[in-house]
Amino acid sequence: MKDIQNEKPARSRNFIEEIIEEDIREGKNDSRVHTRFPPEPNGYLHIGHAKSICLNFGLADKYNGLTNLRFDDTNPVKEDVEYVDSIMEDVRWLGFDWGDRLYYASDYFGQLYEYAVILIKKGKAYICDMPAEEISATRGTPTRPGKESPYRNRTVEENLDLFGRMRAGEFPDGTRVLRAKIDMSSPNMHMRDPILYRILHTNHHRTGDAWCIYPMYDFAHGESDSIERITHSICTLEFEVHRPLYDWLIREIDIYAPRQIEFARLNLSYTVMSKRKLLELVKEKYVQGWDDPRMPTICGLRRRGYTPESIRNFADIIGVAKRDNMIDVSLLEFCIREDLNKQANRVMGVLNPVKVIIDNYPERQVEEMEAAVNPENPEAGTRKVPFSKELYIEREDFMEDPPNKFFRLAPGREVRLRAAYIIKCESVEKDPVTNEITAIHCYYDVNTKSGMPDSNRKVKGTLHWVSASHAVEVDVRLYDRLFVVPDPDNAEEGKNFKDYLNPDSLTEVKGYLEPSIRDAKIGEKYQFERLGYFVVDKDSKAKSLVFNRVVPLRDSWARIEGQK
RNA sequence: UGUCCGAUGGUGUAACUGGCAACACAUCUGAUUCUGGAUCAGAAGAGUCUAGGUUCGACCCCUAGUCGGACAACCA
């Protein structure tokens, strides 16, 4: 039988998939696909890492392969278990499983040491006694060749002896390094006798004080991939120039060679993505922590109310290529709206209330109105919303002197109250001093209750509302983009990214919600009808709920308004 | 004045590997709607960085430029 789904063209392959498929076709590595996600545990993961995670795990999944999680923990002075834990939590939360393949570069310190010895014995590596500044100074520049170290031609015996004594802890930090002996005049800076090992008398989060010399990333990374028999080492563009070094190392040590493929990292508008800058925002308290809902970190997005599905879908949509890119946040927002529109239960709540009094509604009467929990998902059923004489509606939903495009409440005009009656505005009460509207008087049409025949009457606007005496007061945090410019990394002369922070990225207000919200649990997402999607924040207490706005609904009225 | 990489609508990614450019987001119209949401239908928007060349035919191959990015931590 023909597979009907094949009728519709499959999503075209990205360049990495093409490479992998070619390798499979040619039977490389017995057509095996094995990738890895190799974070350094020195910070929290962000949406850029999510792209890489989805890519690596996604590729393995697509080609029936495997993906390892490996911590590149070769620099104990910067790394910490706090980060290890958060990284694992985030990868898992995103929906990926590394099975029993959790590794650490530090697992390989013994093996790596042996590899170094091999290089020394082959005369391909030597101990250099120059201080850091001198090594740097003799490295040359991209356009000018470097100078050879005076220690470059030590004998194999001497190098072996010195390396052993480095390891034994005989020398203080910074006094000696192991360097590869390649070519000080190579046009590729990374080939100018790169440092392989340095002395660091620092406790390592896993190996404790077993080592006082640690391999450099360039030495550890490719070899770790080799040890794990990774078939395709997917990494970002900046490592492209390192590849010749990795190839050299692998060839000289004579071990299994993975294939490295570089792709362009993700850039998102109106935010920053570098760990250093993110750390700065946290340390200098511009945000409240790594999981501040304004942060592009995975934990920040999670707290903001993003779902793993929406992020995975985002990673899929943006694609993979080699050219530098800047993705518009509106695409991320599209992804979460699309997901939450289908998932989130609806609830009515007013954030900027103004009182509505239904003059012809019986004084003490309360009706339980029936409303769909989620119109996009009939199976979710209905909920009861209490209706009474005094209500709150959104202050912006009323205008005394409206333009004709305004479909909401105004003197003499009719609107529908969602899931309730059609009401007509009769008069307005104002504060004599401030002239602010304090109450709107309306009449309701008894025959227009939802479901009744007369309720089919056409009215232009439908408003959300909440019964004043039944409203549950909650705290609401309205988030906006963290920066006011699309590309804060690209600061003009004399400024830095922090000069572009959005002072209004967080606004805290009270919200008045329908009573059904009382059962809300931390992490649950709701659509506040006509307002946006909100998630219950972990700061919530039993009697005081705190909501984070994930993203507002698309608002074409605001767009019309904005055009003026 | 080095090496490596890249260049397709506003943004991102495609184009069956040479047959006159598609999809998504954003934008705009209209329909529909008890969310100015969602949904549905449609429109506009690039002739593929430039100049040569190969070819019946080039986004795709070649040459030379232009522009952009990465690389000079004992960071990863």
For residue A292, the 8-state DSSP code is: -
> Is-contact A172 A131, C-beta < 8 A?
no
Rounded distance between C-alpha atoms, residue A39 and residue A70, angstroms: 7
Residue type, A343: Q
Is residue A528 within a helix (H) or strand (E), and if so which, with residue range?
A: strand A525-528
Residue A564's pLDDT is what?
59
The closest nt to A140, taking CA to C1', is B72
Helix spans in A29-108 (H): 47-62, 81-94
Which residue is nearest nucleotide B7, judged by alpha carbon to C1' distance?
Answer: A323
A262 contacts: CB under 8 Å, gap ≥ 6: A234, A235, A236, A237, A239, A240, A243, A322
Stated length of chain A: 564
Helix then strand then coil, in percent of chain A rounded to 5, is 35, 25, 45
Cα–Cα–Cα angle for A36, A40, A41, rounded to 5 degrees: 120
* Burial A528-555, CB ≥16 within 10 A → b, else e: bbbbbbbbbbeebeeeebbbbbbbbbee
Interatomic distance A552 CA / B36 C1' (Å): 13
The closest nt to A458, taking CA to C1', is B34
Q: Is A71 helix (H, G, I), strand (E, B) or coil?
A: strand
Tokens representing A468 are 């004043």
Give, to the nearest 10 degrees, the angle between helix A329-343 and helix A308-318.
140
Cα–Cα–Cα angle for A463, A464, A467, rounded to 5 degrees: 125
> What torsion do the CA atoms of A37, A42, A46, A49 make, to the nearest 10 degrees?
-20
> Is-contact A51 A315, C-beta < 8 A?
yes
**Distance from the Cα of residue A477 to its chain's centroid:** 19
Q: Which nucleotides of B are covered by protein (CB under 7 A)?
A: 1-8, 10-15, 17, 24-28, 34-39, 68-76
Q: Is A6 exposed, middle or buried (0-12, 13-18, 19+ CB in 10 A)?
A: exposed
Which regions of A139-294 does DSSP assign to beta strands (E)? 177-180, 195-199, 213-215, 232-236, 259-263
What is the three-state SS of A466-524?
EECCCCEEEEEEEECCCECCCCCCCCCCCCCHHHHECCCCEEEEEEEECHHHHHCCCCC
Indicate yes or no: pTM above 0.90. yes
Structural Rg of chain A based on CA atoms: 31
Neighbours of A187 (CB within 10 A): 10
Residue in the block written with tokens 């004579």: A254
> What are φ and ψ of residue A334, in 5° steps?
-60, -45
Which residue is nearest nucleotide B36, judged by alpha carbon to C1' distance?
Answer: A557
> What are φ and ψ of residue A386, in 5° steps?
-70, 140
Residue type, A303: R
Q: Which of A43, A34, A137, A28 is nearest to A90 (CA)?
A: A43
Q: Which of A554, A534, A397 is nearest to A479 (CA)?
A: A534
Interatomic distance A269 CA / B11 C1' (Å): 10
The closest nt to A135, taking CA to C1', is B74
The closest nt to A562, taking CA to C1', is B36
Rounded distance between C-alpha atoms, residue A527 and residue A377, angstroms: 13
Interatomic distance A416 CA / B30 C1' (Å): 24
Summarised one tens digit per residue, pLDDT across range A14-46 is 999 999 999 999 999 999 999 999 999 999 999
Interatomic distance A328 CA / B11 C1' (Å): 6
The catalytic residues of A are: 40, 265, 275
Interatomic distance A431 CA / B43 C1' (Å): 49
Interatomic distance A143 CA / B55 C1' (Å): 40
Residue type, A396: E
A114 contacts: CB under 8 Å, gap ≥ 6: none
Interatomic distance A188 CA / B71 C1' (Å): 8
Q: Is A282 helix (H, G, I), strand (E, B) or coil?
A: helix
The closest nt to A408, taking CA to C1', is B36
A530 contacts: CB under 8 Å, gap ≥ 6: A394, A463, A464, A553
The closest nt to A420, taking CA to C1', is B34
Interatomic distance A19 CA / B18 C1' (Å): 21
User: The complex's ipTM?
Assistant: 0.95
Tens place of pLDDT per residue across chain A (564 aa): 233 333 344 578 999 999 999 999 999 999 999 999 999 999 999 999 999 999 999 999 999 999 999 999 999 999 999 999 999 999 999 999 999 999 999 999 999 999 999 999 999 999 999 999 999 999 999 999 999 999 999 999 999 999 999 999 999 999 999 999 999 999 999 999 999 999 999 999 999 999 999 999 999 999 999 999 999 999 999 999 999 999 999 999 999 999 999 999 999 999 999 999 999 999 999 999 999 999 999 999 999 999 999 999 999 999 999 999 999 999 999 999 999 999 999 999 999 999 999 999 999 999 999 999 999 999 999 999 999 999 999 999 999 999 988 999 999 999 999 999 999 999 999 999 999 999 999 999 999 999 888 888 889 999 999 999 999 999 999 999 999 999 999 888 888 999 999 999 999 999 999 999 999 999 999 999 999 999 999 999 988 999 999 999 999 998 888 765
Interatomic distance A49 CA / B3 C1' (Å): 28
A437 contacts: CB under 8 Å, gap ≥ 6: A354, A395, A398, A400, A428, A429, A430, A431
Cα–Cα–Cα angle for A559, A563, A564, rounded to 5 degrees: 130
The closest nt to A322, taking CA to C1', is B6
> Is-contact A84 A71, C-beta < 8 A?
yes
